[in-house]
Structure 1
Amino acid sequence: MKRRALVLTSESARHPFRQTLPPHVLKPLPDPAKRNDEDIRLFFTSFAAFFVATYSFIA
């Protein structure tokens, strides 16, 4: 059985199209100032692994 919200429109969204959107679409985005360094670490780890593998293959 599919669960639905009791209120199908968001009263805080004033435009008719925005009122028809689900509530999770209107949530604010996370703060971009809080940068996650996981991507940078993954890049350097991959670069180091590729460098070691290439160097050991050549040597």
Structure 2
Amino acid sequence: MRRSLVLTDETAGHPFLASLPPHIRTDAIPLKARPKLRLTRADIRGFALAYLGCFVAVSVFIA
């Protein structure tokens, strides 16, 4: 089955972005408007506890 040709936008840059309809491209959040990722002490502590817990569980399983 052949599809009809899709009109593209040359200013989009990437071929995939050029194939998207204009209303999809304009609703995208600009890079500058995205919220910054902020790690808190609780986030680092939770990651460390999960990492160490998994490490201990695997070590006990192997031994």
The structure whose RCO (Cα within 8 Å, separation 6+) is larger is 1
Q: State the TM-score bracket (shorter-chain normalisation).
A: 0.3 to 0.5
Please, what TM-score do these two structures have when normalized by structure 1? Answer: 0.39
Bigger helix share: 2
Please, what TM-score do these two structures have when normalized by structure 2? Answer: 0.38
